[in-house]
Amino acid sequence: MNKKGLLFIISGPAGSGKGTIVSRVRELAPFEFSVSATTRNPRPGEIDGVHYHFLTKEQFEEKIHAGEMLEHAKYSSNYYGTPKAPVEKILNEGKNIILEIEVQGALQVKEKMPEAVMIFIMPPNYETLLSRIRGRGTETEEVIQERMKQSHFEIDHFGNYDYVVVNETNGIEKAAEDILSIMRVENLRTLRNGDLAEKFYK
Ligand code: 5GP
């Protein structure tokens, strides 16, 4: 029987750089990635089914009621959620997967799957976070303020995570390396290697 894959949850406030860090991690090591569903509008360049599954509020609520979401949350007045079936399939195939999701959803996953490894990406300080959110240039002032409020909520919850990685200025490479180190260590846990004794005596 295949050993199950590992589930990594990566969270961090908007502007923490988590998207860029996760892309770098995936360049350095093979990881499956869960494509989330959302009711927010696509940003320029975002492709349906690649960056997100873009759904209407009604379609999203149908999926919640049908039990098709592993987790879901409201963030800046929109729904975001992880479709359950693809995640389970990937884990059952023995492959590792990354979920890049916000805090409320992360806590729901941890409750259902306590073996999930939770990593929080922390910006170095308040000013850096604000200028990163502004620098993106795709959001209105109202959205920026909403995201800053949300950031405080997320940072207040970082103690619920197993690991924290600080994304310093120009720190993408170091942060990606830190995450890879966590992944390597997690793979060495005895509880994930229960089959070794059996293999040894074969
Ligand atoms: P954005 O609108 O900037 O793409 O994402 C907003 C927030 O939603 C980010 O913190 C992102 O990690 C989070 N997010 C993306 N997909 C999901 C998901 O499937 N579930 C949850 N709970 N959060 C998500």
3-state SS, 114-140, equals CCCEEEEEECCCHHHHHHHHHHCCCCC
pLDDT tens digits for range 164-191: 999 998 999 999 999 999 999 999 999 8
The best mutation among 36, 111, 136, 151 to test binding of ligand 1, ranked by most ligand atoms within 8 Å of the C-beta, falls on 36
Convert 3-21 to b/e letters by CB count within 10 Å (16 or more is b). ebbbbbbbbbbbbbbbeeb
**pLDDT score, position 14:** 84
**pLDDT score, position 2:** 60
The per-residue pLDDT of the chain, averaged, comes to 93
**Rounded distance from Cα 101 to ligand 1 centre (Å):** 5
Name the band, by pLDDT with cuts 50, 70 and 90, for residue 113: very high
Q: Give domain status of residue 1, yes or no.
A: no
| Domains of the chain: total | 1
Mean pLDDT of 67-94: 96
Q: Give domain status of residue 48, yes or no.
A: yes
Give the largest Cα separation in the chain, rounded.
64
Please list, in sequence order, all residues whose beta carbon lies within 8 angstroms of the beta carbon of residue 44, skipping any fewer than 6 positions away. Answer: 138
Q: Give domain status of residue 2, yes or no.
A: no
Distance CA 100, CA 71 (A): 12
- Domain containing 155 equals 7-200
Instruction: Note the residue count of the chain.
Output: 202
SS3 74: strand
Give yes or no for a contact between 81 and 74, defined as CB atoms under 8 angstroms apart. Answer: no
Q: Give domain status of residue 187, yes or no.
A: yes
Q: Does residue 18 surpass a pLDDT of 80?
A: yes
Nearest to 18 by CA among 104, 107, 130, 132: 132
Q: Give domain status of residue 50, yes or no.
A: yes
Q: Does residue 162 surpass a pLDDT of 60?
A: yes
Distance CA 124, CA 186 (A): 25
**pLDDT score, position 137:** 73
Q: Is the CB of 40 under 6 A from ligand 1?
A: yes
CATH code: domain of residue 190 = 3.40.50.300
The percent of residues above 70 in pLDDT, for the chain, comes to 99
Segment (H or E) for 39:
none
Name the band, by pLDDT with cuts 50, 70 and 90, for residue 202: confident
The best mutation among 53, 68, 75 to test binding of ligand 1, ranked by most ligand atoms within 8 Å of the C-beta, falls on 75
pLDDT tens digits for range 42-63: 999 999 999 999 999 999 999 9
